[in-house]
Amino acid sequence: MEQPEITYCSPEMEQTGLFWMPMQQAEQGLDGLLGDLELSLENGTACRLQMENYRARDDDAVLILKLLEEPRDEADLDEWLSGGLHPSLCHQQMECRKSGRRGARKRRTSPWDTLFFRDIPSQRSGGYIRRNNSHWTSKEVKLLVQGVSKFGVGRWSQLKKNYFKTSVRTAVNLKDKWRNLLRAYKGNVQKYTLLELEPPLVEQIRKLGAKHPYPKQRHS
DNA sequence: CTAGGGTTATGG
DNA sequence: CCATAACCCTAG
């Protein structure tokens, strides 16, 4: 059963390259302010509602990015952060609560979370903060494959610079994703894959994978 | 910076 | 429950 494809980013937001990222609830710095906007995806209404939610939050994101570009007083920013949330957001927040059972959880938090709260001390037992847990979109994968075919495997920093300049994905993320792609599409079919990719794309992945094997193999 | 082993969250 | 995806750690 496939979940409906949802467009998380408004065009403006997409341009910024910042995407909504799921995070562990305890780590959501703005959790108290925004509330968690989890929604059931079970019916169309909830789905639509969710998109509106994201839309509203996108507006906020774009706004705050503007604030960043033309820096003002910190107090100004503080005030905006603590109170001046997008009106449509408060409205939506109550609306979405009533949806019934939860479907797949799409925990997301706003981009400014990582911009402003990345240094908040963490209580995690692991000792580190997990910043981004979002699943890759097929768009991103396409970009990655494109990048790998241009730069080859191993020049992740270059690839990041040229193809994921503004994305939240780091060079290491790209590398890891590539590894996962190889694992996922090499040889036997997996039991399941979260993201269905177009056959041509898969074909390209396989080809590139054959060229730069992982894990390293000492000959053919 | 990258490779690769480890760890944690996700979701069938 | 457990395989997979996403993420972290770190030697070299």
- Residue A220: the pLDDT is 42
Q: Could you say which residues 195-214 of protein chain A have a Cβ atom less than 7 A away from any atom in strand B?
A: 214
Torsion of CA A143, A144, A146, A151, to 10 degrees: 140
End-to-end CA distance of chain A: 38
pLDDT tens digit sequence for A21-47 = 333 332 333 333 233 333 333 334 344
Which residues of chain A, if any, have pLDDT below 50?
1-50, 52-53, 56, 60, 64, 67-68, 70-127, 218-220
Q: How far is the CA of A130 from the C1' of B10 (A)?
A: 14
Judged by C1' against the alpha carbon of A155, the nearest nucleotide is B2
Residues with CB under 7 A from strand C: A 21, 126-136, 169-170, 172-173, 176-177, 179-180, 183-184, 190-195
User: Quick check: A215 CB within 7 A of strand B?
Assistant: yes
User: Quick check: A75 CB within 7 A of strand B?
Assistant: no
Q: How far is the CA of A169 from the C1' of C9 (A)?
A: 17
pTM: 0.50
* CA closest to B4 C1', residue: A215
Size (chain A), residues = 220
- Residue A212: the pLDDT is 76
